[in-house]
Amino acid sequence: MAKLKLGILGINQDSAKKLNREELSQLVKKTLEIYPLGEILKLSAIAIGETYATSQYLRGIREASLLQKRYNSDIIAIVEDGAHPYYDKKTGLIYSNINPLNLSHQLGHKLGLSHPKHHCEEPCSKHYAKRCKFSKEIMGCAGTIEETIGFSKSDITTLKKVYKI
């Protein structure tokens, strides 16, 4: 199966730290090093857009759509410094900050993965993650502690099967 094309749209707000192509390239490189994402995805484009808080959401969607059409990207991730990461099922867009663990978690959702079945409802935090058996998995509490191991064995098996790698 051919690799899916990943487009990255860096969003710079007037008051936030300005992202540049080098930072976004490093984010993608580190994210695709998390197995098996590099076997499934390849970078198709990086673009940077300027937005202002009142129009950020709509403009981000418009710029993401243009990026998707121009570079034929299968997946679009909108990256903003300090953003709260999430996957928007309605639009199919990924929102992330510049942390590769957060981006890989949201890519996991886009690729069909979910949180561990017995994942508790307590929010992931450094204090709680030390007691959580899923704390080292990307789809668990990854990112809250430094010892993340990547995707779980079952998540890797699922991705390999679905994406024929």
Task: Tokens for 69, please give them.
Answer: 């059409």
Residues in the chain: 165
Decide if 152 contacts 116 (C-beta within 8 A).
yes
pLDDT of residue 116: 79
pLDDT of residue 54: 43
Task: Tokens for 40, please give them.
Answer: 């499934």
Question: For residue 29, what is the domain's CATH number?
Answer: 3.40.390.10
Nearest CA to 149 out of 101, 110, 116 is that of 101
41 burial level (CB within 10 Å; 0-12, 13-18, 19+): buried
How many domains are there within the chain? 1
pLDDT of residue 67: 80
pLDDT means over runs of 10, the chain (165 residues): 93 76 97 97 90 58 80 92 89 92 95 78 62 77 66 95 95
pLDDT of residue 22: 96
Please name the residue that has the structure tokens 């994402």: 37
- The residue segments making up the domain with residue 126 are 4-162
pLDDT of residue 143: 54
